[in-house]
Chains A and B, each alone.
Chain A
Amino acid sequence: MSQVNLQIRDDGRLRHFLSIEGLNHGLLKEILDTAESFAGVTQQSVKKVPLLRGKTIVNLFFEASTRTRTTFELAAKRLSADVLNINVDDSSAAKGETLLDTLRNLEAMHVDMFVARHTESGTAHFIARHVQPHVSVINAGDGRHSHPTQAMLDMFTIRREKGDDFGRLSVAIVGDILHSRVARSQIHALNMLNTGEVRVVAPKTLLPIGAESLGVQVHHNLRDGIRDADVIIMLRLQNERMRGALLPSEHEYFNLFGLTEEKLSVAKPDVTVMHPGPINRGVEMDSQVADGPRSVILQQVTYGIAVRMAVMSMAMQQSSVTS
């Protein structure tokens, strides 16, 4: 039942994509290289390759999503797969059908892949443990645990901006680490790619216990945390954090942890600013930074399609563009 066995086939290739943990440096490189080959496809006028023709992919979203779901859908369509979008809101779960029953019903329709998002950590692993042998599972975000395709599109963006050698990079992740599946996956991916320095910047209320054990340097002061950084990743702050006595106000958060042009000046001159979206302008960063020359926020979205094409095709045992 180990995660390694769950995600990787006996021959070392990708079977499910559930979390960065359990993968290895070689597979991450393969995902990035494969995505690179698809990035060209997505810029052609005919944006389709026939790799997954005849395959059926179900986007099974138990939690609202626009960006992630649409880029998964586009990625699947550009691979020529048939795509079904299912949004299971809380009310239909309340009707009593269990997650497993939902899965079994969909499997009975001969699905080849599930792309799943759920509010509970561990859901993707649960689904992967219970699907039939020919079905692959891609984690599109589970609770606070993991969001590995987001992390890989971020790695792809960093590689495009900074080149192949992660060893010379300092990367700072700023914001709500505690509740962030994105941050957890990014940290694992950065460390697996041997990034020189991974820092997290947050007040103690937004850090998990023993954050250092994830392999990061912990900072509570934004200027210290982003000093001489090559890459700064800002995380989204949910409004509800103000209700749970985690933060006093958006105003104070922005004053302390919001990214402005002025604060950005302590980072490397060619620093790259990223954000998984959607941005709260004036909370995580001001518009000058979000729309400024250092920001690659929209490129991240574009690259998301190529990275998701790569992961889907690899998990379906297709690993290169054949068209």
Chain B
Amino acid sequence: MAERNVKIKIQGGRLIDPANNIDQQTDLFIADGRVAGIASAPDDFRIDQTIDATGLIVIPGLIDLCARTREPGHEHKATIDSECRAAAAAGITTLVCPPDTNPVIDTPAVIELIRHRSKLAGAARILSLGALTRDLDGKHLSEMAALKTAGCVGVSNAGNPLVSTLVARRTFEYAATFGLTVFLCPNDHALADKGCIHEGQISTRLGLPGIPEAAETVAVARDLALIEQTGARAHFCRLTTQRAVRMVARAHYNGAPITADTAIPYLFLTDLDAGGFDPNYHLIPPLRSQTDRDGLRTGLADADLSALCSDHQPHEPDAKLAPFPATEPGISGLDSLLPLALRLVDEQCMQLPDLVARLTCGPASILNIPYGQLAQGATADICIFDPKETWQLNQDNINSRGKNTPFLDWEMTGRVRYTLRDGKLIYTASEKA
């Protein structure tokens, strides 16, 4: 591991490390894959490489709570190699992969395979969520103890339904036995039915089957009751409605052991955007109303939503070449995660350090992992970006294999210049793209 010993000085950047309340212009010294010093170098530190971060912002590497790399099982869409590199170029050092791969992540072997492939890619690392039920069938408990031993950071049934509230209760109890956090995608599948768009004026006008807001809130209400009863630790993934955020806020007030996140598209787009049948706006859960979008922004600013993820779902072009309801849902989101998040600061939705927290120490604390902060001795996962550089997202500069995004042609501000993982440079931007 010769590379690990490379000693790096990151010079003159604005270091924002919300976990340690740091926001100042300073130097950062990296050795042995860890933060060796802040402001001043430790004794006998011989600099091998200096990164000039003047005018740049230095933050912990981003942690993306939901990114599908499509491997194993859907390699025609993307691969672990392609997406881990795309993540690195987007300043993301840790990806969390939901268990709905093929085969699903319900055995240690699949976790091992994903870890092995991501190690080969040598870019962002991948952490796995184990399946909550065997083959995500919604009926049978998965071997959670084995999954935990193999290194899964939580368990989830992804977007798949559980057959009954009883099964939900049992899975929560079993997960709680091993201290595993349950990652919930709240959706009452019977209510959502065959819907493909938010139920509202647009679904009424377009004649598309709608997914009511209650599909989310009913599921959140049910799960909150079960969490209270079972004492499970739970995380609500990708909330999309204002009411669900308020339910979470109330539960926080009551001290419930829960956390929640939302994904980038829901903070910028609404069902109105889907009014022209453009399949790039086909998401599950669907883009909601403007009220919901505003409610999510408030929830994120207030930290009731303590993480912001990309909900990355890369697709091959054919997946979106069909009438709206027949297309596969989801957005390729890695490339635009940081610049769109920064837009929230521009739009005065929140302060920059708070935003950085939602992308770093927020998700780290949900996952209970030691990343997402840059204290002395911490793992040197670092994102260095130019907050002023503007660029336009287009087919050619998307690093992900998936080019499916409604943010094409959007003007982005903020571009990643360097990404380090475990103290090693995994991405360096070519000069001024």
**Which residues of A are at the interface with B, using a C-beta cutoff of 8 A?**
1-3, 21, 98-100, 118, 120-123, 125-126, 130, 142-146, 181, 184, 208-211, 213-214
A234–chain B nearest beta-carbon distance, Å: 19
Do residues B323 and A120 form an inter-chain contact, with CB atoms below 8 A?
yes
Do residues B204 and A122 form an inter-chain contact, with CB atoms below 8 A?
no
Taken together as a complex, chains A and B put the C-alpha atoms of A122 and B208 apart, in Å, by 8
Do residues B203 and A142 form an inter-chain contact, with CB atoms below 8 A?
no
| B213: nearest chain-A partner, CB-CB | A209
Taken together as a complex, chains A and B put the C-alpha atoms of A123 and B207 apart, in Å, by 12
Taken together as a complex, chains A and B put the C-alpha atoms of A122 and B199 apart, in Å, by 16
**Which residues of B are at the interface with A, using a C-beta cutoff of 8 A?**
199-201, 203-210, 212, 276-278, 318, 321-326
Q: Identify B321's interface contact among A98, A121, A125, CB under 8 A.
A: A98
Query: Hey, which chain A residues are within 8 Å of B326, CB to CB?
Result: 99, 120
Do residues A126 and B323 form an inter-chain contact, with CB atoms below 8 A?
yes
Taken together as a complex, chains A and B put the C-alpha atoms of A126 and B212 apart, in Å, by 25
Query: With A98-B318, A125-B277 in contact, do A210 and B323 touch (Cβ < 8 Å)?
Result: no
Q: Identify B200's interface contact among A99, A100, A143, A209, CB under 8 A.
A: A209
A185–chain B nearest beta-carbon distance, Å: 10
Do residues B204 and A211 form an inter-chain contact, with CB atoms below 8 A?
yes
Do residues B322 and A99 form an inter-chain contact, with CB atoms below 8 A?
yes
4 closest cross-chain pairs (CB), A and B: A144-B207, A145-B207, A122-B277, A208-B204
Q: Identify A145's interface contact among B199, B208, B321, CB under 8 A.
A: B208
Do residues B278 and A1 form an inter-chain contact, with CB atoms below 8 A?
yes
Please report the number of residue pairs spanning A and B whose Cβ atoms sit closer than 8 angstroms: 74
9 contacts between A and B (CB under 8 A): A98-B318, A100-B321, A120-B323, A121-B208, A125-B277, A126-B322, A142-B323, A145-B207, A213-B204
A169–chain B nearest beta-carbon distance, Å: 23
Task: For the A-B complex with A122-B277, A210-B204 known, give 9 more contacts whose Cβ atoms are closer than 8 Å.
Answer: A98-B322, A121-B206, A121-B277, A122-B323, A125-B276, A125-B323, A144-B208, A145-B207, A208-B203
Query: With A122-B277, A145-B207, A184-B207 in contact, do A210 and B325 touch (Cβ < 8 Å)?
Result: no
Do residues B325 and A143 form an inter-chain contact, with CB atoms below 8 A?
yes
B321–chain A nearest beta-carbon distance, Å: 5
A96–chain B nearest beta-carbon distance, Å: 12
Query: Hey, which chain B residues are within 8 Å of A122, CB to CB?
Result: 206, 208, 277, 323-325
Taken together as a complex, chains A and B put the C-alpha atoms of A211 and B201 apart, in Å, by 8
Query: Hey, which chain A residues are within 8 Å of B203, CB to CB?
Result: 208-209
Do residues B325 and A184 form an inter-chain contact, with CB atoms below 8 A?
no
B284–chain A nearest beta-carbon distance, Å: 16
Do residues B323 and A123 form an inter-chain contact, with CB atoms below 8 A?
yes
Query: Hey, which chain A residues are within 8 Å of B200, CB to CB?
Result: 209-210
| B208: nearest chain-A partner, CB-CB | A121
Q: Identify A118's interface contact among B278, B318, B321, B323, CB under 8 A.
A: B323
Q: Identify B201's interface contact among A99, A123, A126, A213, CB under 8 A.
A: A213
Do residues A209 and B204 form an inter-chain contact, with CB atoms below 8 A?
yes
A20–chain B nearest beta-carbon distance, Å: 11
Taken together as a complex, chains A and B put the C-alpha atoms of A130 and B209 apart, in Å, by 24
Taken together as a complex, chains A and B put the C-alpha atoms of A120 and B204 apart, in Å, by 14
B90–chain A nearest beta-carbon distance, Å: 27
| B212: nearest chain-A partner, CB-CB | A209
Taken together as a complex, chains A and B put the C-alpha atoms of A25 and B205 apart, in Å, by 19
Taken together as a complex, chains A and B put the C-alpha atoms of A208 and B198 apart, in Å, by 12
Query: Hey, which chain B residues are within 8 Å of A100, CB to CB?
Result: 321-322
Do residues A143 and B205 form an inter-chain contact, with CB atoms below 8 A?
no
Query: Hey, which chain B residues are within 8 Å of A21, CB to CB?
Result: 205
Do residues A143 and B207 form an inter-chain contact, with CB atoms below 8 A?
yes
Taken together as a complex, chains A and B put the C-alpha atoms of A130 and B278 apart, in Å, by 13
A178–chain B nearest beta-carbon distance, Å: 9
